[in-house]
């Protein structure tokens, strides 16, 4: 509210009685600066007064208000945020108000490191009581941008530092229902099943997660996210990945049922490289995909897979060729 009023009818600092004792300090840009910014008058004046209180290390209520004005003009000024924290500490300010302040700033632009670093600092001091509010805060951000990188980092930090894991898997589920292609939500899901103290960890969660992921793959086989997630579910346990019939069977299903078989082939290639003994069904499925042409036929399945990938995924042709060239040492 206050900052809106200031914006509407800003009284220059030089005309405000409370600042009459302060001599503004101009920026020392030198006689012929490069990348000089043609600041507006308001920007110059606010920064000049800020410099004065910063240099005097004045940790006062008016200095706190001034930092809000500077941040409103440029939320990327980390020095101001840093100084604001030292003022908040000195004044022993109510940090709940600070949350509202940040929310206001984030409304216009939430994509800078400073806002989030500051938010983390505040939440850390407010402690576990603030967990719910922080989770809600990031939720609001995700309702506008469900892949907001800073907000996801913040949310993970909140969960680890302050708790609030209870509904997290459900929240991931909800976001994925809204947009199954949202890789940030898949990443969060991985974070939850590996880090949540309420769940049993990766191995305990594997079976139900594999079912969920397989279903997602079968719905949209062209969606890379669940394919990567599926591989992730066997992190550090490659042997189980190779041996789990659910993994090879989802590949086979996709190969047989759809035209979007790039990720199925890519997964099959990785499985073969890690020692999967393919059934005849795989040979048959891959044979039907073989590009027609005078190319010399590849003798074994794994080479065939590389050739098909090279053909159907030309933007990665170099990569698939390279993968093929590395096979000789494998077999």
Partner 1 sequence: MDCSAATPTVTQRDQWMVEHQVFQIYDLFASLPRNAKSAMLELQRDNHMEYLTKGLKRLDPSFSVLDANRPWICYWILHAIALLGEYVEPELEDNVIEFLSRCQDPNGGYAGGPGQMPHLATTYAAVNALITVGGERSLSSINREKLYTFLQRMKQPSGAFRMHDAGEIDVRACYTAISVASVLNILDNELVRNVGDYIVSCQTYEGGIAGEPGAEAHGGYTFCGFATMILINEVNRLDLAGLLNWVAFRQSRECGFQGRTNKLVDSCYSFWQGGVFALLQRVHSILDEELGNLHSGGDCTNDSQQTGMTSDISKGEEGSGGTLSQVDETCHSRLGGLNAHSPLNLNSIGYSFIKQPAEEEPLFHSLALQQYILLCAQVMEGGLRDKPGKPRDYYHTCYSLSGLSVCQYSESPDEDSPPLPSAVMGPYSNLLERIHPLFNVVVERYYEAHEFFATL
Q: In this complex, which beta carbon is closest to partner 1, that of residue 39 or of residue 165? A: 39
Q: Which of 241, 229, 234 is nearest to 276 (CA)?
A: 241
Subset of residues 300 to 319 that bind partner 1, contact rule: CB under 8 A: 314-319
CB burial of 131-156 (b: ≥16 within 10 Å; e: otherwise) equals: bebbbebbeebbeeebebebbbebbb
What is the DSSP annotation of 185-203? Answer: HHHHHHHHHHH-TTS--HH
Please confirm, yes or no, whether 40 is among the known catalytic residues: no
Subset of residues 187 to 226 that bind partner 1, contact rule: CB under 8 A: 187, 190-191, 195, 218-220, 223-225
The reply to whether 147 sits near partner 1 by the rule CB under 8 A is: yes
* CA atoms of 189 and 202, how far apart (whole Å): 11
| CB of residue 284 to partner 1, shortest distance in Å | 21
Subset of residues 29 to 58 that bind partner 1, contact rule: CB under 8 A: 29-30, 32-40, 43, 47, 51, 54
Subset of residues 231 to 290 that bind partner 1, contact rule: CB under 8 A: 231-232, 235-239, 257, 273-275
Q: In this complex, which beta carbon is closest to partner 1, that of residue 59 or of residue 82? A: 82
Q: Cα 232 from chain centroid?
A: 17
**What's the CA angle centered on 155, arms 173 and 84, to 5 degrees?**
160
Subset of residues 98 to 137 that bind partner 1, contact rule: CB under 8 A: 109, 113, 116-117, 120
Phi, psi of 161 (to 5 degrees): -90, -35
| CB of residue 187 to partner 1, shortest distance in Å | 4
């Amino acid at each position: 509210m206050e900052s809106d009023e200031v914006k509407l009818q800003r009284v220059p600092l030089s005309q405000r009685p409370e600042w009459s004792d302060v001599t503004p300090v101009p920026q020392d840009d030198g006689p012929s600066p490069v990348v000089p910014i043609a600041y507006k008058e308001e920007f110059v004046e606010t920064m000049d007064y800020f410099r004065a209180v910063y240099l005097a290390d004045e940790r006062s209520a008016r200095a706190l208000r001034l930092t809000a004005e500077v941040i409103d003009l440029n939320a990327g000024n980390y020095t101001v945020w840093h100084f604001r924290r030292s003022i908040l500490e000195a004044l022993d300010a109510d940090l709940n108000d600070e949350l509202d302040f940040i929310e206001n700033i984030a409304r216009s632009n939430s994509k800078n490191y400073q806002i989030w670093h500051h938010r983390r600092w505040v939440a850390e001091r407010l402690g576990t009581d603030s967990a719910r509010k922080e989770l809600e805060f990031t939720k609001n951000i995700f309702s506008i941008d469900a892949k907001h990188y800073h907000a996801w980092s913040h949310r993970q930090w909140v969960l680890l530092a302050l708790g609030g894991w209870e509904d997290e898997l459900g929240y991931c589920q909800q976001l994925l229902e809204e947009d199954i292609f949202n890789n940030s939500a898949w990443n969060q899901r991985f974070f939850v099943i590996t880090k949540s103290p309420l769940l049993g960890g990766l191995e305990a969660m594997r079976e139900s997660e594999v079912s969920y992921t397989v279903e997602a793959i079968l719905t949209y086989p062209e969606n890379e996210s669940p394919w990567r997630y599926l591989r992730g579910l066997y992190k550090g346990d490659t042997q189980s990945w190779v041996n789990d019939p659910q993994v090879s069977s989802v590949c086979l299903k996709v190969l047989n049922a759809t035209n979007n078989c790039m990720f199925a082939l890519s997964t099959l290639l990785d499985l073969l490289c890690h020692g999967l003994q393919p059934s005849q069904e795989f040979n048959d499925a891959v044979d039907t995909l073989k590009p027609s042409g005078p190319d010399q036929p590849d003798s074994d399945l794994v080479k065939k897979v590389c050739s098909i990938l090279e053909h159907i995924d030309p933007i990665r042709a170099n990569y698939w060729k390279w993968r093929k060239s590395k096979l000789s040492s494998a077999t």
